[in-house]
Structure 1
Amino acid sequence: MPPHEENVENEVVLVSNANNLKLFNMTDVPDIDSSENSTGHTSKGVPNNDKEGVKKPDTYNAILMHAITGGLRTYLLAHGARGGLNFFLQLTMMLRKSKIRIGHAFRYGFFGKDALRFGLAFGGFSFLWKLINNGLRHARGKDDRWNGMVAGSIAGLSILAEKRERRISIAQQLFVRAMQGVYNAGRARDYFHFPHGDSLLFAVCSAQLLYAYTIQPDTIPPEFLQFMVKTARVPREVLALNKKYVTTNMPIDVEEALNILRKYKGTEYAFKVVSKMGQHPTTIPCALIHSSSDSCMYADVERFYKVFKDILPIYTALNTVSMLVFKTKDFFQNPLDRIQKSVFNTVRSSAFLSTFVSGYLTEICFHRNLVNYGLTAWDHKYLYWITGFITSLSIFLEDKRRRTDLALYVLPKAAESWYKIMYQRNWIFELHKNADVYFFSAAMGIVMAFYQHEPEVLSPIVRTVLRKFAGKN
């Protein structure tokens, strides 16, 4: 493969993995149960069981044929959705590099291993769930939660069709979705409720991730860390130097710092600052963090612009695929309205992420300037957790319906970081190597039990994806 194509493909894979389930996190995904209020329940707060008339197979032969046809249908839908997303991502990356090869993008998107694995995982789940759920119903003569839980748990083994790295990400996402269902079920029964809990959860989890990104990067999933480093545009060498100095207070090798400036073409002023900082500065100076710009303000504005420019085509692809997959009928009935909403959501989400990234580094620069003016000499590792929490307030730029999705997206990654830190300190046991499969199976058992008998407690996204891909029975 030519070098430029390899770079494009690597970039697409990176973004695709970092946004693994964001295809199903779009604001425009419809809430199918229109009779529900914003909490996902009827106005009386009582779960509204879905008892719509759906013809169910009543013989074992019919059940088998139903499962086979349903599984094949789900496979085609999932393969097409994943292939379409990869195709759009590949095209956007090629457009940025002025190397447009539609044939290559089409082959990579629709005939690559990503789409095949994704289709097999979804199709296999649909087949097993339909087969076991209907088989249990027919054998037991009952249609209850246990059928859905057992069928969902066994069908969860289909996740083995995915590669391990993606299995972990998918298992994490579905597990938190299952816990969301449990929370909503408790909330519907007035057991508990936390106002703005989604925003607080996002802030706490993001603070942990930004702390880990700066101080303990080995606790973040490698592909997600790569995405963070690429997006924030602070060299890994600078992050490593800062981590070493903050956590150990060992003398800084000034020559090593100067070599970093040479590698990243630092300004004359940056060389002057770094050469004079000595082995024990109060903090790693801004001259290393944004070595190509002498102005913190200019560097932060430039970072906002670059993040916005880079993420805009990604959100464009995600929102476009979401619109075409989930709102096909609405799109053809009123294309202008759907496109306007998609554009607005794309710009808003891009602005949020740009503010989130640039805001964190703006706070770091602000702290360095306080040090320069002699207003503080404090540079502790937990400073980076606090600044991460503050910049997470940018979540309020996003649509309220998206805040829960974003919180649940970062929660498993933050939980993984917390787990690894606790394991390093011998505070917790090591998980089994196949824990991702166990977690996914348990999650799908819970999700499918709710889906069949109390679907209102599941998020609109989960309900929509399940009904679109797996059907109602």
Structure 2
Amino acid sequence: GGDSPVEGRMNGISGDEKSRRGGGQKKRLQVPKTNTGNRKGKMTRINTFPAALNRKQADPRWDESVDNFAQRIRELRVAAQNLVTLNIEPNTSKLCPHKYSCVQNCFYKGLFRSFAAGYLFKSLLAFFSALLRGKLGKKHHTLEDIFRGKDALQFGQFVGIMSFVYKAVLCSLRRYFRSNSPKYHAIAGFVAGSAIVFDDPSRRSSIALYCIVRAIADLLANLKASKKLPPVPHGDAIVFTLSQVPIIYSFVKCPQLMSRGYYKWIQKMGDVTSEGLRRSTRSRISDSMHRLPGEKWEPCEYHAHEPSCAAYNAKDWFRGLGRAIPIYLPVHILPTLLFTPGKIVKNPKRFVKQKLENILRSAVFLTTYQFNTKSTQCFLRNLIHDDPSWISVAAGLSSGTSIFLEHPKRRTELTLYVLPRALEVCANYIIRFHSSSDGMIQKSVPLLSLLGFQTSLAIWMGIQAVPEFTEMNGLNRSGLRAVFGSKH
């Protein structure tokens, strides 16, 4: 059965020498155990570790810890290899509900899939918005700008990293503590929220403000549903109405307090010009919010072509319908196109009928909103021949009552839209008129935005992990599912 001398010489080693080497390889350095309790002749390896380091004898759990660590290293190496070769590795952890292994789930369902979801969402949102507003193909709205621009790629990067970090932290906490708890979801969400630093800095504050308001609203809804908080009748309408006070005040008296885009949107919907509004309600010769001594009060100049305020506002209510319908086309259609397109295919006739009714009802609400604002402003300033700040406050309260014309299911969504705008105005008011000279408030805005977004994500992920918490805004739930998936 051994090599012949010829074969051995061909290999450069004689048969006898190879035999001697092979025999030498089988020998191991062994000594008899000194323990007299062992059977005679039983051999053991020489222990070259000092007694103080011989943890194996001191603590039997040492073996298990070393073996577990080595096993984890082997699993990670195999998982990395499978990740590169696209081999599907099934999940073996009973604590994690996802289909693939934790490593593959972090990369496939987290980084890669969520990046694609974020990129597609941002690019398709820009595409359909430009299409419905008639701006597709124009400057900054070409197909190349939309699908190959930095904006969609940066947003996808932010979403992908956020999902990856969330899944990695959550799986690590489960494995480390060998349990599953809603607090692990909340912790993972808070850590993952730090990924917002990868998004465009110009929109971080807005995203954080919107998310924290919506997350707190979901938390309050669940607390009310579980009877831990008493319900407030028409609470959404009350908050909406109160939110209009700082918004209309800023629009009329100090436009610098609100974002330029939102100011332009209200201006377009109300069909008023900046100059006409300024000459009607503020100083004509300075940037002051009030007329200077000696400046004469004048009738409303933003509708100088229609001297009668009552006639102008009545006619403008109908014209406002035409301005509101294009605004609400994407609002009512885009969410279905992006999140649940199957509903359109399943019953297109019902979809069209329902959306037309919703768009018309929302348009009636919005044109009444601007009608109430301008009518109140016109009536009070003509009554006292002056423009104090309280008139814009009254106009805000009057405009807010129009929310009762909107569908009850839409009222909460509208409140969640305007409340961050109102808070933004209040924050800018404090920064502009009441901040210290060292600019401490301004410097803390980026940190507050980061903490706000992290907190909102912690609230959302914690809510989803609590079985008795089933209340969540439909848009919030769809967005979270699109980013993080249904099984974490």
TM-score by length of 2: 0.71
Contact 1:57–1:134 (CA under 8 A) maintained in structure 2: no
Q: How much has 1:368 moved relative to structure 2?
A: 4.3
| Larger deviation, residues 296-305 vs 190-199 | 296-305
Name the SS for the 1:289 alignment partner. coil
Q: Residue 191 in 1 paired to residue 229 in 2?
A: yes
Q: Residue 158 in 1 paired to residue 221 in 2?
A: no
Tell me which structure has the larger Cα radius of gyration.
2
Q: Residue 231 in 1 paired to residue 239 in 2?
A: no
Within-5 A mapping of 1:4-15: none
Contact 1:85–1:109 (CA under 8 A) maintained in structure 2: no
Q: How much has 1:209 moved relative to structure 2?
A: 0.4
Contact 1:85–1:318 (CA under 8 A) maintained in structure 2: no
Indicate the RMSD between aligned Cα atoms, in angstroms: 2.9
Percentage identity across paired residues of the two chains: 24
Name the SS for the 1:128 alignment partner. helix
Q: How much has 1:248 moved relative to structure 2?
A: 4.0
Q: Quick one: which of 326, 332, 339 aligns to 2:345?
A: 332
Name the SS for the 1:456 alignment partner. coil
Q: Partner of 2:158 in structure 1? A: 121
Q: How much has 1:336 moved relative to structure 2?
A: 1.0
Q: Distance in 1 between matches of 2:459 and 2:250?
A: 31
Partner deviation per Cα, 1:51-80 (whole Å, 9 max, x = no partner): xx996259xx92121011113222222322
Within-5 A mapping of 1:318-397: 318-369=331-382, 371=383, 376-377=384-385, 379-397=387-405
Q: Distance in 1 between matches of 2:441 and 2:333?
A: 41
Taking a change above 3 Å as real, the CA distance of residues 306 and 404 of structure 1, as seen in their structure-2 partners, is same
Taking a change above 3 Å as real, the CA distance of residues 352 and 113 of structure 1, as seen in their structure-2 partners, is farther
Q: Residue 443 in 1 paired to residue 481 in 2?
A: no
Q: Distance in 2 between matches of 1:106 and 1:351?
A: 34
What residue ranges of structure 2 are gaps of 5+ in the alignment?
Answer: 1-93
Contact 1:308–1:350 (CA under 8 A) maintained in structure 2: yes
Q: Distance in 1 between matches of 2:355 and 2:289?
A: 44
Contact 1:312–1:347 (CA under 8 A) maintained in structure 2: yes
Partner deviation per Cα, 1:109-133 (whole Å, 9 max, x = no partner): 3333332233222222222211211
Q: Quick one: which of 106, 114, 118 aligns to 1:67?
A: 106
Contact 1:323–1:342 (CA under 8 A) maintained in structure 2: no
Q: Partner of 2:134 in structure 1? A: 94
Q: How much has 1:201 moved relative to structure 2?
A: 0.1
Within-5 A mapping of 1:34-433: 56=97, 62-71=101-110, 72-94=112-134, 105-187=142-224, 188-241=226-279, 242-244=281-283, 247-251=289-293, 279-281=295-297, 284-286=298-300, 288-369=301-382, 371=383, 376-377=384-385, 379-426=387-434, 430=441, 432-433=444-445
Partner deviation per Cα, 1:349-377 (whole Å, 9 max, x = no partner): 222222212321122223345x3xxxx45
Q: Residue 467 in 1 paired to residue 481 in 2?
A: yes
Q: Distance in 1 between matches of 2:315 and 2:146?
A: 32
Taking a change above 3 Å as real, the CA distance of residues 117 and 399 of structure 1, as seen in their structure-2 partners, is farther
Q: How much has 1:214 moved relative to structure 2?
A: 0.9
Q: Distance in 2 between matches of 1:178 and 1:317?
A: 24
Q: Distance in 1 between matches of 2:405 and 2:237?
A: 11
What residue ranges of structure 1 are gaps of 5+ in the alignment?
Answer: 1-52, 253-278
State the AA in 1 paired with 2:220: Y
Name the SS for the 1:317 alignment partner. helix
Q: Distance in 2 between matches of 1:63 and 1:109?
A: 34
Q: Distance in 2 between matches of 1:418 and 1:103?
A: 32
Name the SS for the 1:192 alignment partner. coil
Q: Distance in 2 between matches of 1:102 and 1:381?
A: 39
Contact 1:91–1:105 (CA under 8 A) maintained in structure 2: no
State the AA in 1 paired with 2:200: K
Partner deviation per Cα, 1:295-328 (whole Å, 9 max, x = no partner): 4345334544454334423422233221122322
Contact 1:66–1:130 (CA under 8 A) maintained in structure 2: yes
Higher relative contact order structure (alpha carbons within 8 Å, sequence separation ≥ 6): 1
Q: Distance in 1 between matches of 2:309 and 2:325?
A: 24
Taking a change above 3 Å as real, the CA distance of residues 345 and 118 of structure 1, as seen in their structure-2 partners, is farther
Q: How much has 1:441 moved relative to structure 2?
A: 0.9
Name the SS for the 2:230 alignment partner. coil
TM-score by length of 1: 0.73
Q: Distance in 2 between matches of 1:349 and 1:227?
A: 16
Partner deviation per Cα, 1:263-302 (whole Å, 9 max, x = no partner): xxxxxxxxxxxxxxxx322xx412x121233343453345
